[in-house]
Amino acid sequence: MMSAKVFLLTLALSFLSVGTASADFYSFTDENGVVHVTNVPTSRNYRWMMSEKGSFKRSLRTYSRKGFEEMIEAAAQRHGVDPSLAKAVVKAESDYNADAVSVDGAKGLMQLMPETARSAGVRDIHDPVENVEGGMRHLSRLIKMFAADVRLAVAAYNAGEKAVLKYAGIPPYAETREYVRRVMHYQKLYKAQAARRG
């Protein structure tokens, strides 16, 4: 008969082996906007999202483009941000590259500066999920600050709210003006894409 110590050791080893196993993860967003994630898809609604190879944190970087978009849409809805705008900002900031780092030190999908990430409650700026969550929290705050004037909020995301307040509008910086133009263009494209999907 197996002793209690051997049983506990076997049980512990089995849990450890689960932590190192590889798996594929799938997701879909239902009609109520709820995102469902599983490693055992039970319907054709599920789409491949990412693979787990080794640690879970590492596997987060293997999201498919569709997986990133669904994650961004869900975070946007949680923070009251138009999903088309949210995706447009990510497109303009990093082109969906979770490992992007700017010359100024902005990082991740939403190109968060370390101080912005800290103020938005982000612990790991390199984690795509935390990066997007913090970025949406920050963008939502800017939209409220500028009374739902999306162009001003987007300008503030790029140049900082102090610059927008100083000039009482979009700052006269070529980079910021081009950034606002690009985000508005991408938002229009994403809205059209969403309308086609019905």
Active-site positions read: 93
Interatomic CA distance for residues 80 and 33, integer angstroms = 13
CB 79 within 8 Å of CB 140: yes
Interatomic CA distance for residues 179 and 185, integer angstroms = 10
Pairing of strands 35-38, 23-29: antiparallel
Interatomic CA distance for residues 109 and 166, integer angstroms = 28
Integer angstrom CA distances of residue 87 from 136, 149, 167, 177: 10, 17, 27, 19
